[in-house]
């Protein structure tokens, strides 16, 4: 558990008087027992920290509990950093209380819009063991970031930059991690692409770090998000079959079985060093090269610096490239930028002028029919989103993208908007003749993203590469799946809710993606694999599915082997060693053993 105890000397300007101020900062994600609360690290870059969330689907969850040692007795003011995620003329849906040593403080928390420090009250505490409980009052996604005890009345800063500085200063956190680990290749992101990259490199003897911010691998294919994998296997069927899923309905609990398979297959490689629950937060550069990536454990707060000659960005959002200063794109290009028109669909496909619209994020969910009637609370805070829409499950069409919402910067608002849509649509379905026995089986609290940053490589893959059937000399990824671009249904029919999307399909024969789209144009030792590869908005439409991005991952894992062999950077694989590289890619079709461990 993370907690900090600080003693300060308060000194009067006019009198020879002094007193000691005691401060204790408890990070909620580090509680000894989270109870029914979950650790949510999705929005660290936006709000500053992982946090605990009471994701009870409308039923209050078990208390989160922790203990710490208080050094001094005193009267302590208590602040809790929280957020009212659905403000309006109703009771906040995410209310909770704090209990100290079994004494429940009277103030309900989670009532202030925006992340802020809410005053929980004052309590006399004795030195020694002290216990804290978070008591969920609603089951509707109350959230707690941190709890601050102080014998002073001054609250911590609210602004994100001020708060980050305050946290580091108060905890005496060093400017860089004290632990440093070195690898041949560091892969950040444990989705299908990141896992494939790690396996491909490890099989050829590289020592690989695979860093992932969740407890389970698979990204959108994991049991936490539950999207089935699509696409073909290309050159890498053997590797991708270790990682992919059956074609179950999206949201199905069958995802658990594929997840077991995936972990077993990644963990059998002794030279893959797996760091689950570690979230990268910075890339350290020297000129146009990344020297290391820093990561923090999502609950324990420990930090590690990962050094390597080469890195793979499989974060989806392109965070490693972004921190390193890599060129990137976001949004839709104008129809004239690459000549990607699809006349039948006009602006819904490609706009006259470039904009920031991208394919959106989904939150999947399931219900079941119970044997007896099940009550569900009123959700007036969800009505403004769901309106009269009724639903009992969330398909892939449950997706949100708007020009005023950035898929990275506003990701928490997008997730919360989808939760309102889910709870409101379900509440409407409960009121129908067939809804009495319905109850939630599962709701994801993680956003399943389709598109955000796309890092720029030596080649930008576009729709023209598909329609012209270009087979490159460095074609390492292939696909037959149609180009599939989404738009929000309400853009065609204003009566539709804003959280439902539709797809435009362009059927095409096999197309190819070159290796030059899988490494950064300006960061010399950075690969990228996944939906953040080098492509246009329309170019992403086909190959964004997970078997295809898994091909990308395997391809860069093999390229890293060539780089290690000759001490070169990714670009030189193409310019100087392409024949050898392509031969190694082709050999994957018959490769049948795990290489000796390094």
Residue ranges in 431-545 assigned as alpha helix (H):
463-467, 537-540
pLDDT value at position 1?
60
Report the chain's C-alpha Rg in angstroms.
Answer: 25
Name 146's bridge partners. 27, 81
8: pLDDT strictly greater than 70 = no
Nearest to 76 by CA among 132, 18, 136, 11: 132
Rounded to whole angstroms, the Cα distance separating 230 from 163 reads: 42
pLDDT above 90 coverage of the chain, percent? 92
Please tell me whether residue 362 adopts helix, strand or coil conformation: strand
Strands 96-100, 128-136: pairing is antiparallel
Do 184 and 567 contact (CB within 8 A), yes or no? no
Higher pLDDT, 103 or 3: 103
Rounded to whole angstroms, the Cα distance separating 309 from 314 reads: 17
Q: Is 289 exposed, middle or buried (0-12, 13-18, 19+ CB in 10 A)?
A: middle
Do 512 and 468 contact (CB within 8 A), yes or no? no
Instruction: Give Dmax (Cα) for the chain.
Output: 84
Neighbouring CB atoms inside 10 A of 15's CB total 7
392: pLDDT strictly greater than 60 = yes
175: pLDDT strictly greater than 90 = no
Rounded to whole angstroms, the Cα distance separating 239 from 220 reads: 18
Q: What number of CA atoms fall less than 13 Å from residue 206's CA on the CB side?
A: 30
pLDDT band with cut points at 50, 70 and 90 for residue 361: very high
Neighbouring CB atoms inside 10 A of 108's CB total 18
Do 541 and 483 contact (CB within 8 A), yes or no? yes
pLDDT value at position 172?
78
pLDDT 10s digits, 478-534 = 999 999 999 999 999 999 999 999 999 999 999 999 999 999 999 999 999 999 999
Average pLDDT over residues 357-385: 97
Strands 526-528, 311-313: pairing is parallel
Rounded to whole angstroms, the Cα distance separating 7 from 122 reads: 18
Q: What tokens does 445 get?
A: 């609290």
Q: Phi first, then psi: what are they for 311, rounded to 5°?
A: -135, 150
pLDDT above 70 coverage of the chain, percent? 95
Do 351 and 335 contact (CB within 8 A), yes or no? yes
pLDDT value at position 3?
55
pLDDT band with cut points at 50, 70 and 90 for residue 598: very low
The CA–CA distances, whole Å, from 278 to 54, 193, 200, 213, 305 equal: 22, 17, 22, 5, 11
Q: What tokens does 385 get?
A: 């989103």
Nearest to 90 by CA among 528, 339, 420, 431: 420
pLDDT 10s digits, 287-323 = 999 999 999 999 999 999 999 999 999 999 999 999 9
pLDDT value at position 173?
84
Please tell me whether residue 286 adopts helix, strand or coil conformation: strand
Name 109's bridge partners. 96
Across 268-340, the runs of DSSP E, i.e. the strands, are: 272-276, 278-286, 289-297, 303-307, 311-313, 328-329
Q: What tokens does 436 get?
A: 């009495």
pLDDT value at position 13?
34
524-547 per-residue burial string, b: 16 or more CB within 10 A, e: under 16? bbbbbbbbbbbbbbbbbbbbbbbb
Q: Phi first, then psi: what are they for 396, rounded to 5°?
A: -60, -20
pLDDT band with cut points at 50, 70 and 90 for residue 589: confident
Average pLDDT over residues 432-441: 94
Average pLDDT score over the chain: 94
pLDDT value at position 20?
55
Question: Could you tell me the pTM of the whole model?
Answer: 0.95
Do 508 and 483 contact (CB within 8 A), yes or no? yes
pLDDT value at position 18?
36
Do 307 and 182 contact (CB within 8 A), yes or no? yes
Average pLDDT over residues 193-200: 98
pLDDT 10s digits, 12-35 = 333 333 345 689 999 999 999 999
Across 259-405, the runs of DSSP E, i.e. the strands, are: 272-276, 278-286, 289-297, 303-307, 311-313, 328-329, 361-362, 365-369, 399-400
């Amino acid at each position: 558990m993370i907690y900090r105890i600080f003693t300060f000397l308060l000194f009067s300007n006019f009198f020879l008087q002094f007193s000691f101020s005691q401060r204790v900062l408890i990070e909620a994600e580090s509680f000894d027992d989270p109870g029914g609360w979950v650790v949510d690290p999705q929005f660290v870059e936006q709000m500053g920290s992982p946090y605990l969330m009471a994701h009870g689907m409308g039923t209050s969850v078990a208390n989160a509990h922790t203990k710490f040692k208080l050094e001094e007795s005193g009267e302590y003011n208590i602040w809790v950093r929280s957020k009212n995620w659905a403000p309006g003329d109703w009771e906040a849906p995410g209310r909770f209380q704090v209990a100290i040593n079994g004494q429940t403080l009277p103030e309900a928390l989670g009532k202030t819009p925006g992340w802020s420090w809410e005053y929980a009250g004052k309590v006399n505490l004795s030195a020694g063991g002290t216990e804290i409980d978070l008591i969920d009052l609603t089951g509707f996604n109350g959230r707690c970031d941190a709890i601050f005890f102080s014998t002073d009345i001054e609250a911590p800063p609210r602004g994100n930059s001020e708060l980050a500085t305050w946290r580091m200063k108060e905890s005496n956190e060093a400017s860089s991690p004290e632990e440093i680990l070195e690898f041949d290749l560091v892969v950040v992101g444990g989705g299908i692409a990141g896992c494939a990259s790690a396996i491909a490199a490890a099989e050829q003897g590289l020592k690989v770090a695979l860093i992932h911010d969740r407890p389970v691998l698979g990204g959108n294919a994991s049991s936490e998000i539950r999207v089935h994998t699509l696409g073909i296997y290309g050159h890498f069927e053997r590797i991708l079959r270790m990682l992919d899923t059956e074609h179950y309905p999206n949201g199905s609990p069958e995802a658990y079985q594929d997840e077991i398979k995936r972990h077993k297959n990644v963990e059998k490689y002794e030279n893959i060093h797996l760091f689950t629950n570690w979230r990268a937060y910075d890339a350290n550069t020297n000129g146009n090269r990344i020297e290391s990536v820093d990561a923090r454990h999502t609950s324990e707060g420990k930090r590690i610096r990962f050094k390597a000659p080469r890195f793979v960005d499989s974060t989806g959002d392109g965070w490693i490239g972004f921190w390193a200063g890599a060129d990137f794109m976001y949004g839709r290009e104008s129809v004239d930028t690459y000549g990607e028109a699809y006349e039948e669909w006009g602006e819904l496909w490609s706009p006259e002028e470039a904009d920031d619209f991208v394919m959106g994020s989904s939150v999947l969910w399931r219900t079941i029919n119970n044997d007896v009637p099940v009550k569900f609370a009123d959700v007036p805070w969800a009505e403004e989103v769901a309106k009269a829409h009724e639903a009992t499950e969330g398909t892939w069409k449950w997706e949100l993208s708007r020009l005023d919402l950035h898929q990275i910067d506003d990701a928490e608002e997008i997730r919360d908007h989808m939760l309102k849509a889910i709870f409101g649509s379900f509440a409407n379905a409960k009121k129908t003749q067939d809804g009495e026995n319905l109850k939630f089986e599962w709701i994801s609290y993680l956003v399943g993203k389709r598109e955000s940053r796309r890092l720029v490589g030596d080649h930008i893959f576009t729709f023209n590469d598909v329609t012209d059937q270009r087979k490159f000399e460095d074609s390492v990824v292939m696909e037959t799946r149609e180009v599939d671009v989404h738009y929000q249904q309400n853009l065609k029919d204003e009566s539709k809710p804003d959280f439902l999307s539709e797809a435009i399909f362009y059927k095409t024969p096999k197309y190819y993606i070159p290796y030059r789209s899988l490494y950064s144009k300006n960061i010399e030792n950075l690969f990228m694999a996944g939906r953040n590869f080098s492509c246009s908005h329309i170019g992403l439409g086909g190959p964004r599915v997970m078997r295809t991005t898994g091909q990308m991952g395997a391809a860069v894992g093999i390229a890293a082997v060539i780089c290690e062999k000759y001490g070169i950077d990714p670009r030189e694989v193409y310019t100087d060693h392409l024949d050898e590289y392509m031969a190694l890619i082709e050999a994957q079709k018959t490769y049948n053993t795990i290489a000796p461990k390094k």
